[in-house]
Structure 1
Amino acid sequence: MTTKYAETTETTTGGKYVGRPVDRLDGLAKTTGEARFAAEHRYPGLAYAALVHATIARGRVTAIDAVEARAVRGVIEVLTHENTPPMKPAPKFSMLDLSTMASGTSVNYLATDEVHWSGQPMAVVVAETPEAARYAASLVRLTYEELPAVTDFAAEEPNAVRQRNNPVLPTSADKGDAKAALAAAPVSVDLRFSTPPYHHNALEPHATTAVWDGDNLTLHEGAQNIPWMRKHLALRFGVPERNIRVLSPFVGGGFGGKGSVWAGTLLAVLAARATGRAVKLALTREGVYHTVGGRTPSTQRVALGATAEGDLTALIHTSVSRTSRVGGMPEQITSGSRHLYAAQNVHLSQNLVQLDLLANTAMRAPGESIGTFALESAVDELAWTLGMDPIELRMRNEPERDPLHGRRFTHRMLREAYELGAQHFGWRERDPRAGAMRDGRWLVGMGVATAYHPAWRMPASVTLRLNADGTVVVRSGMHEMGMGTATAQAQITADAMGVPMEAVRVEYGDSELPPGPGAGGSAQTASAAAGVLAASEKLKKALLALARRAPSSPLRGRRLEELEARDGGLFHGAAGQTYAEILAGAGRDHLEASHKSGALGFVARTLRDNRRFVKAASGAQFCEVRVDPETGEVRVSRWVGVFDVGTVINQKTANSQLRGGIVMGIGMALQEETLVDPRTGRIMNPSLAEYHVPVHADIPRIDVRYLDDPDPTMPLGLLGVGEVGITGVAAAVANAVRHATGKRVVDLPITLDKLL
């Protein structure tokens, strides 16, 4: 059942551009090579840096032999803790200063001889060419005093401790007595799942070009949060924020891996300051694995109790994940289990171990992506145990309100998503028996799973400038990682101001612009849209005030709510004035309006909203697989995803985002895993040669649909599309494999050995 409200907390707008499949404004620049990324900027006297990585998991460096490295032709300097002015330490996390989340780790690089993980940068070589820098780095010899290290996640699981609750991301919950209800349930399943570590493999590896001019720093960087990065660098290098300019107009993929400040960035800036040269540091793919965090591994228990008719009486979901002794981001693994099913008794608990490994970090739908694998696989297994259709079981337990606290859903259209998805996928053609469907030698299986991701809105400041020629400039330090940021905001602005989209220019990716929202949590579009809408209202009010001063204006005596912004002006029926006419009449060549939003407002709004209702994007994932019974090979042959993501701003870019999430989820299900040697903490497959991601041959045509129904409590009704697409994907694949083979795989990835 759809739940809607009359309450609307944000200004909304309708028009001719929002919802259209508009081509990306930066498409031509990217496809022709005009777009310049972080490693593609040149400066006079530009030098190149390369990192020297530790080869032990924990200990101290007792000696550094850089004689051979310094002798390499073109080497400018070898920087170590012995000869480098220290940075200031990383700040501790504080809810009152969200920029403290920018610290990738707490390590003060090159200010200490301590080693905290295998791969930690312990020295930086600066040279005239990248080849000389890399070669010289290979010649630096480190001697260690090795200390005992804890690097085996499986062995440490029994030592996990309860993850602390916080008001924004709650981690534990109890409703009733789930343990007793499970024991008394007529039907139950109790499964243990595991997911491996995963690593970011963005098309653009992390790179930094750093240039100091006195105490002024210019930084070219692929960043997902420019304001946080700028504030973090100002703190670490002891200069005012205004002295730092971060330029990040194009980001070649992020997914969370470019949301924090990692060693490569800090050491490039440090090297530039120490040598007095402009310095470029472009990480190798292996360097990314050694210095940039990935997704945590997890073990999870999901136990479900039900009546014989399929009503859930107990839901238990517990997890163990990891952080590092030097940082890391706990994940909201049980997030979906809080809201998806109307269980009478619920127990949720998230637990952590700390290891001597590189700090983990956010990766597309952190928590929900791996949490929905376990939850949705267990729900599917319960359907098998009950002999019930898995969609019927889900719909039987679809809640009217939040199951834990009775809060309202601001938007909930899962019934509609499953109905539409089943129709287009051909779910009724599914033979419910395991292993009963074949296509030649292939076993055919069909599986479903629910997608879920909370909706967020972050701080965002925006300025709109209206020029005398009728053009509008949107200025906000937003981020473009391939999702079409400028295109979406141009569409929103064009409708809000009633101007042609060609008349809108969006400036973004620069710390000198008003601070934009971070590109994370699927929140950037909605957050920036709120600023655009608020600034456009201020701008139109100011225009109306100017028009009223002219005795002959047809807008005299009119209120803004009576007017329509269209045709490049303000109109009441046929009567009105263009913006150009209003500005000319007032003797102005432009007019500006701004909207400012800060972190304290974000925290207050989030806490208030969490007490009142639940906001989330959701969807239904339908997967068909073919499994070779002799080899265990799994091929995904069909996919249909139907999503409730609120208003869709751009059909083309939304489709791309949702498909991309599904592709990433298929990789998580079938191929991807970071292999960590439990004895040494060393990553064994730090490259795309050995860490396998999906290629075109692995992916079928993906049919993406969405309901395009606005959430009344979000700006423009947006719920976000960037992350919900990956959630539920691994479970849908596993559920399809279960249908094809009769085997329940509980440990990702689903490799050949687990099916033979």
Structure 2
Amino acid sequence: MTKLPQIGKPISRLEGRLKVTGSAKYAGEYEAEDLLYGYVVNSTITKGKITVIDTTEAKTLEGVIEIFTHENKPSTAWFDFQYADMDAPPGTVFKPLKDNDIKYNGQPIALVVAATFEMARYAATKIKLAYTEEKFETNLQSNLHKARDTKKGLASMLKPPPPKPTGDFEEAYQNSFVQSSGEFKHGTEHHNPMEMFATTVIYEGKDQLKIYDKTQGTINSQMYVANVFGLKMKNVQVIAPFVGGAFGSGLRPQYQLFMAVMASLKLKRNVRVTLDRAQMYTFGHRPPTVQFTKFGAEKNGKVNAIYHKAIGETSQFEDYVEIVVNWANMLYPAENTLLEHQVVPLDVYSPLDMRAPGGSTGMHAIEITMDDLAYKLNIDPLELRLINYSEKDKSSDKEYSSKELRNCYLEGAKKFGWSNRNPEPRSMKRGNKLVGYGMATGIWDANRLLARVQAIMTSDGKVAIKSAVTDIGTGTQTIMTQIAADELGLRLEDITFLYADSKMPFAPIQGGSFTTATVGPAVKAACKALNEKLFRKAKHLKNAVLSEMKFEDVIFSEGFIIVKNNPETKISIAEIFAANGGKEIKTTNTSMPNPLRYGKKARAVHSAVFVEVEVDEELGIIEVKRAVTAVAAGKIINPKTAESQILGGMIWGISKTLHEETITDHNFGKYMNPNLAEYHIPVHADIQDLNVIFVEENDTFVNDLGVKGVGEIGVVGMPPAIANAIFHATGKRINDLPIHFDKLL
């Protein structure tokens, strides 16, 4: 039996056993009668038109039911796809099978539906295709001259453009005591979650669908299906209780959802469409980006001039943008700033948010530039950041709702042993290995959106909490149960958190590290409202001992309403239900930030990262030996799941810095390593001693719980900290990611 309070306890994930035993069902694993299987055919050219798509032979194969192409695709609703996806950037959303135009390599051009997956896949090889090819451009580096400012749309609300220039950057920079400038590049990266994208559609008659989808937002997928196919929202149910990783790739509905629904509606059958690993490279990616920085500082280390420009890739049909250049002035207040972000439209699919989108890109350039300034000033890199410390976000001229970054620096440095560092590059050795210490700052937005939650108590004293929110592996189910247990005064065992079903109360897509801050307060509000209902009923009981009490005078604990200053005076929940005829008591509540108040302060989560690397002096092989990340993220609901999130981010930071890269052959406009053999990610041997510190931070402004997200902050500071450690070890400043050994030889 567990006891209160639950918030702050390192509770193991409630669904953990289901996952590790293989009992958890994912989108492509649900059983259905007479299930048909779809296999997607993808374009082998990058740009042009389909002139022939001959399905004659494929259709003669036994078990093949139908083949959908642009020539026989069922019509869709007039409603523009753009408004069917709450995460769509400005532009025109890609419409599968719309016509014979090829916009990018790997574009879905047909769907084979058969009685078995194997037959559908085999039949796909029998489709005869001919194209006329057109000239294409997929190389960002050779098209920087085509960079332009981005179009604005609803997406800019969560992805604000760079702040306007301040002061006179050029003059301040030229007159600075020291100057640091750099060009930074990183290539394309793909999400590669373990679970491939899949959709299982159960046709329930009269255009009524139950859909098991791999998604980070059940309601987003529901909206997409209903609007694109002209269905009533109530007739579309999307369910996604288990998601085998997504990292942003599931924020938007992917094309297998469209294909599966299209086939199901046309054939009036149950249909499943699953993508294979190579097809996971045919939608969305972290865009290759080129950045330019110029920072100037005074003799005492104060940064007085900041220039940061980023040029990222986008598609020809949408303007995907990230927050890349906004961060420097949020951390280091300078009077003279010039921040620019542009995109280059290329013949690729639209990029897509990937864990810490923009932040992990921009902070890499910012923190390496700060490190370079420190060396030129002969000031310790940690000391330089303390010199430029500010309680205010200079870019918005607002104070932070809370900021314990200073303690992150100090506690992280102490844990790491930063004071043992010899500041001279190439001065520290261990045998034939050069040893380097590097550090960097991390920052990420602390946002909150609208959410609704329902709480239902039954006569046995058990409570069901309902929300459409997904749990993409972060521990959402567990921490929401902890929040509910504390608010209701019940044990964890008495709470069931039901989630990831579009029929449940509204929750936004799970991303941006805002889920706990968004859904958590709604859980708290619904549970409080349920308690208030119980209290009102208790006051009206015959011979009620609480009749003269106010709600503030009582507490709820393990099935009783108890008077605070007289614990012997109490009423059991069972008595209330007996008087209520045993009927369930429920409430549905909405929680959202006050728009008039919320914008008055800057809100962010911060981190300080310290890294030790070893570099083989002869071979250039790099090992991250240990790292410490100190995080200030408000109240930590569950230290165990939160630490897991930060550790996962740190590992991804190592991966981003030293391993991950999707290689494009620009002669073909094609990704050449769409598999987990050649797309390199870390293995166990690459990950050594990683430590996480949560610095105490109290914030009553961000939300009722005082929580901030931890999903992204674990990533953003790692790449620059590793790169700075490599410089300290070798004396070589490498600004391009990933850093492979050949760059050190």
The question of 1:440 aligning with 2:431 is answered: yes
Would the aligned equivalents of 1:90 and 1:103 in 2 still touch at CA under 8 Å? no
Unaligned ranges ≥5, structure 1: 1-13
Does the 8 Å contact 1:104/1:359 carry over to 2?
no
CA distance in 1, matches of 2:250, 2:322: 17
Please give the per-residue CA displacement for 1:222-255, whole angstroms capped at 9, x wherever unaligned. Answer: 1101111101110111111111011111011111
**1:89–1:315 distance in 2 versus 1, CA, 3 Å:** farther
1:400 deviates by 2.4
Within the alignment, does 1:631 sit opposite 2:623 as a pair?
no
Residue 376 (structure 2) pairs with residue 385 (structure 1): yes
Question: Alignment partner for residue 466 of structure 2, among 463, 467, 475?
Answer: 475
Aligned partner of residue 533 in structure 2, secondary structure: helix
Q: Does the aligned pair in 2 maintain the 1:103–1:260 contact within 8 Å? A: no
The answer to whether 1:109 aligns with 2:96 is yes
The answer for the alignment partner of 1:576 in structure 2 is 570
Look up the match of 1:676: 664
**Alpha-carbon separation, structure 2, partners of 1:115 and 1:447:** 46
- Give 2:143's match in structure 1, choosing from 138, 150, 156: 156
1:270 has 2:273 as partner: no
Tell me the SS of whatever aligns to 2:50.
strand
Work out which of the residue numbers 706, 709, 714 in structure 2 matches 1:717: 706
- 1:171 equivalenced with 2:171 (yes/no): no
1:89 deviation in Å?
A: 6.3
- Mapping of residues 321-332 of structure 1, within 5 Å: 321-327=312-318, 329-332=320-323
Within the candidate set 193, 197, 201, 1:206 is matched to 197
Structure 2 counterpart SS, 1:123: strand
The one-letter amino acid of 2:644's match is: S
> For the Cα contact (< 8 Å) 2:635–2:698, is it kept in 1?
yes
1:364-513 equivalent positions in 2, closer than 5 A: 364-513=355-504
Q: What's 1:726 paired with?
A: 715
The equivalent position to 1:650 in structure 2, one of 634, 638, 642, is 638
Cα shift at 1:585: 3.0
CA distance in 2, matches of 1:303, 1:208: 47
Out of 587, 595, 600, the position equivalent to 1:593 is 587
- Distance (Å, rounded) in 1 between the aligned partners of 2:641 and 2:217: 21
- 2:520 aligned partner: 529
| SS of equivalent residue, structure 1 residue 717 | coil
* 3-state SS of paired residue (1:720): coil
Which of 75, 78, 91 aligns to 1:86? It is 75
Whether contact under 8 Å (1:421, 1:622) holds in the other structure is: yes
Deviation of 1:636 (Å): 0.5
Q: Matches of residues 9-158 of structure 1 in structure 2 within 5 Å?
A: 16-88=5-77, 91=80, 99=86, 101=88, 106-158=93-145
Work out the CA distance in 2 between the residues paired with 1:451 and 1:552. 59
Number of the residue aligned with 1:334:
325
Q: How does 1:227-266 map to 2 (within 5 A)?
A: 227-266=219-258
Deviations 1:632-688 (A, max 9, x none): 110000011110011111111001011001111110000101112223321111111
| Amino acid of the structure 2 residue aligned with 1:402 | D
Q: TM-score, normalised by structure 2?
A: 0.96
2:556 match: 565
State yes or no: 1:285 paired with 2:277.
yes
* Structure 2 counterpart of 1:225, one-letter code: G
Structure 1 residues 303 and 103, CA gap change in structure 2 (3 angstroms):
closer
- CA drift of 1:308 comes to 1.4
- Equivalent-residue separation in structure 1 for 2:82 and 2:667 (angstroms): 31
2:733 aligned partner: 744
| Deviation by residue 1:140-168 (Cα, 9 ceiling, x = unmatched) | 22211222222111111121112356454
Select between 621-630 and 326-335 the one with higher mean Cα deviation: 326-335
- AA partner of residue 724 (structure 1): I
Q: In structure 2, what is the Cα distance between the partners aligned to 1:305 and 1:394?
A: 14
Partner secondary structure for residue 125 of structure 2: helix
Q: Please give the TM-score of this superposition, normalised by the length of structure 1.
A: 0.94
Verify the 8 A CA contact 1:463 1:595 in the aligned structure 2.
yes
Measured in 2, the distance between the counterparts of 1:98 and 1:608 equals 28
**Which one is further off, 459-468 or 561-570?**
561-570
User: Closer, same or farther in 2 for the Cα pair 1:91/1:608, shift >3 Å?
Assistant: farther
Deviation at 1:98, TM superposition (A): 7.1
Tell me which residue corresponds to 1:6: none
2:399 aligned partner, one-letter code = R
Q: How many residues align?
A: 734
| CA distance in 2 between partners of 1:185 and 1:383 (Å) | 14
> Deviation at 1:320?
0.4
Q: Which moved more, 1:551-560 or 1:680-689?
A: 551-560
Q: Return structure 1 stretches of 4+ with deviation > 4 angstroms.
A: 102-105
Query: Match of 2:393, SS?
Result: coil
Deviations 1:163-214 (A, max 9, x none): 3564543222212111211111110101110111110110101111112223
| Cα distance, 1:586 vs structure 2 | 3.4
- TM-superposition CA deviations, 1:49-104 (whole Å, max 9, x none): 1111111211111111223322333222221111221323673657xx87363999
CA offsets 1:432-490 (integer angstroms, 9 cap, x no match): 11011111111110100111110111221100011221111101111111111111011
Q: What CA RMSD, in Å, does the superposition of the two structures yield over aligned residues?
A: 1.8
Letter in structure 1 aligned against 2:109: M
CA contact (8 A) 1:100 1:232 kept: no
Question: Counterparts of 1:167 and 1:211 in 2: how far apart (Å)?
Answer: 36
Deviations 1:609-643 (A, max 9, x none): 33x11111110011111101111110000011110
How has the CA–CA distance of structure 1 residues 311 and 90 changed in structure 2, closer, same or farther, with 3 Å as cutoff?
farther
Residue 640 (structure 1) aligns with: 628
Separation in 1, partners of 2:82, 2:442: 30
CA contact (8 A) 2:490 2:558 kept: yes
The answer to whether 1:351 aligns with 2:342 is: yes
Q: Secondary structure at the match of 1:632?
A: coil
Q: Secondary structure at the match of 2:39?
A: strand
CA change 1:726–1:100 in 2 (3 A) is closer
Contact 1:211 1:269 in 2 (8 A): no
For the structure 1 residues 332 and 100, does the alpha-carbon distance in structure 2 shift closer, same or farther, using more than 3 Å as the test? closer
- Please name the residue that 2:180 is paired with: 189
SS in 1 for 2:671: coil
Letter in 1 for 2:580: A
Q: Kindly state the Cα deviation for residue 709 of structure 1 after the two structures are TM-superposed.
A: 2.2
- Aligned counterparts of 2:357 and 2:81: Cα–Cα separation in 1: 21
3-state secondary structure, aligned to 1:464: strand
Q: Distance in 2 between matches of 1:102 and 1:568?
A: 48
Is the CA contact (8 Å cut-off) linking 2:151 and 2:319 kept in structure 1? no
Find the aligned partners of 2:85 and 2:386 in 1 and give their Cα distance.
Answer: 39
Q: Which residue of 2 aligns with 1:226?
A: 218
| Separation (CA, whole Å) in 2 of partners of 1:699 and 1:312 | 35
Deviation larger for 195-204 or 80-89: 80-89
The answer to whether the Cα contact below 8 Å between 1:644 and 1:708 also exists between their aligned partners in 2 is yes
Q: What amino acid does structure 2 have at the position aligned with 1:355?
A: L
The whole-number CA distance in structure 2 between the counterparts of 1:78 and 1:122 is 11
Q: CA deviation at 1:15?
A: 5.3
Q: Which amino acid aligns with 1:151?
A: T
588-597 vs 515-524, which moves further: 588-597
SS at match of 2:273: strand
Q: What's the secondary structure of 2:342's corresponding residue?
A: strand
Identity %: 36
* Superposed displacement of residue 577, structure 1: 1.6
Give the Cα–Cα distance (whole angstroms) in 2 for the partners of residues 342 and 649 of structure 1.
32
User: Per-residue deviation at 1:491?
Assistant: 0.4
Give yes or no for the alignment of 1:617 onto 2:605. yes
Name the stretch that deviates more: 366-375 or 124-133.
124-133
